[in-house]
A = this chain, B = another copy of it.
C-alpha cells in the first residue's frame, strides 16, 4: 500500500525542507502492556516516551527542537510523574516541552511527537561499498536488563538518546545512520532495504557485556532490542574516534545481504510496516 509513500517511511524521521536547512519530525506510540517493562516507574515511562522520539531525531543528525505529548491516562494521579519524567528528558537534551493533549484511556498510552533541525539530514540510505560500519553504544544491554541483569537496568529504564553523538557524527560526514532500537540485526536489515549494497560485521568487534557469557552476550547484541544506540556508515578512516562508546564493527559490501562473521544472517523479529 502506498498511502503514505515509501520515501516518507524509510527514515527515522520525516524530512521537511525549511529555509536553507531541514526540519525533521517523528512520532512514537508507547503503551503499558507492550512497551513498558515491569517495574518501570511512571517518571521513567515519561522519560522513555520522549527519549524514543529524541533518538529518532538524533539518528538524522539533527538538534532537537520541541516535543508534544499525547497522554491517554488510566488514572489521573499518574500524570504528574509522567510529565516530570518527560520534561526531564526534554531538558536534558535541550528540547522544548511544548504541551500536548490529555485523554482518558483504559490502558496508559503515550505518544510523543517531536521535531528538530539540521543543515542536511543523515538518512538510512547513502552507504557506499567500502564504507566502514560503526555503532555508538554497546547493543544488547537493554535486552540483558529485561532478562534480569540488573546492572544494565538504566539502559532499559532510562535510555539515553544519543543526541550529541548523532550531531557529531553528522558533522563528521557519516554517509547513513539510524537508531538501533529494534536491535542491531534488524537495523542492518532495515538499512539493507533502502541501500544498493550489503553489510558485513564481525561479532568479535562488538564489546562483550560484563558478567554475561560470551555466547549470551553475542545473542543480546545482535538481536536484543530497546537500546538507543546509533548505527552508521562512513568513508573508511574519516571518523573521529573520540566519541565515547563508539565501535567499528564491519564494512559495507557489494553483495546485498547482511553477513555476520562471513555467514549470511537470518533476521529474526517482526516489524510493522506502513507501506
Give the interface of A toward B (CB within 8 A): 1, 3-5, 8-9, 14, 16, 18-19, 25-31, 33-34, 65-66, 68-72, 79-80, 83-84, 86-87, 96-107, 109, 111, 113, 115, 272-274
Q: Is the CB of A113 within 8 A of B8?
A: no
**A-B contact list, 27 entries, CB within 8 Å:** A1-B79, A1-B80, A4-B97, A8-B98, A14-B66, A14-B68, A14-B96, A16-B66, A25-B66, A25-B68, A29-B103, A29-B105, A29-B109, A31-B72, A31-B103, A33-B106, A34-B103, A68-B113, A70-B70, A70-B111, A70-B113, A72-B109, A100-B274, A102-B272, A106-B107, A111-B111, A111-B113
The complex places the Cα of A70 from the Cα of B104 at a distance, in Å, of 17
Asked if A115 and B25 sit within 8 Å, CB to CB, the answer is yes
Hey, which chain B residues are within 8 Å of A68, CB to CB?
14, 25-27, 113
A238 and B19 CA atoms in complex are apart in Å by 34
- With contacts A1-B83, A29-B101 taken as known, whether A19 is within 8 angstroms of B19 at the C-beta atoms is yes
Min Cβ gap A65→B in Å is 7
Lowest 7 CB-CB distances: which A-B pairs, in order? A113-B113, A14-B98, A29-B70, A111-B111, A102-B272, A3-B83, A27-B68
Q: Kindly report which residue of chain B lies nearest to residue A100, judged by CB atoms.
A: B27
**A85: shortest Cβ distance to chain B, in Å?**
10
Chain B residues whose C-beta falls within 8 Å of the C-beta of A104 in the assembled complex: 34, 272
* Residue of B with least CB distance to A30: B103
Closest to A275 in B: B99
Q: Which residues of chain B are within 8 angstroms of A26 by Cβ–Cβ distance?
A: 68, 101
Closest to A9 in B: B99
